[in-house]
Structure 1
């Protein structure tokens, strides 16, 4: 069995009870660079720990290799936890991993996690919905680049959506995101915030306006 476990948005206390229970029981844990050392310490001393960390521009293992690794560990008859930051199905490529396991006939299940799309602004005191201000919110990846190194071609449509726009992993693309939002008609006076290391002790929030 391979279990895709959402580790939550960063603070190790925000993993679910069910996710932590799986982590404590597993024979092997496959984790990335967003996984907390405190969470890894919860695994059994004899648990096999495999690092497959990925950050923008610095991948220790390609996604196809991670998929193969999960299949191989599953074939060994191990109880495997794939520990993923946030929620496995929110920009975590959990869908790709689940599909790879399904194709190879490896039993798997999903343990949802607290997504940073909601938890990070929430911990900074920013609700993603508010009855009198924003009746919807939209979650957008901040580091998917177009063929020419700019924003994807559909960005204008996304930028024009009503409600709160939440960009994940967007620090490196921040100038392009801001420029794209303004070009799409968002006013420079629009309230905005940038949050780094959300939910952690060293979290930093910069508030201002889009301009």
Structure 2
């Protein structure tokens, strides 16, 4: 049973056996997202002090004006996921096409693809409103040992292995699920550590407001 206030790293290790696939790759993948989120969080929190707010002068695949922090977050997540040699493909809102990653362990042996919006709502930063990262993880459907194709990314939602988000706000939280409950982790900025703060999150049975 996971205990409140344990670190995200401890939680991942303790609950690895409950993952649908227990090879350890998914644990390393969640840890990579954690690392990139902490780096992005540091940059977001000093956005008003350095020249990283405002438009970058380009548009993304959705036709939206890219902000400087969009570009920064995109680079950091792609860099972290690529350097750790865990995924075989990444689809980002800030890229015109998916990225096929040739793994260093020969013949594209990695099994996971990540779909990500590295920094959703980045235009809110100029007015000091929360922004976040959204991610979804799938196992590839094309044969291991071949380059990924569009088919690996266009899978149904019920085929997700894990999904979650990071909110960079008054407190920074990483929330994710691997299909066995939803758990939220809050960053302690003094230590740079994410702690389990919201175990087994659920919708309340009754509430005054319902919002999607």
- TM-score class normalised by the smaller sequence: under 0.3
- By relative contact order (CA 8 Å, sep 6+), the higher-ranking structure is 1
Larger Rg: 1
TM-score by length of 1: 0.27
TM-score by length of 2: 0.27
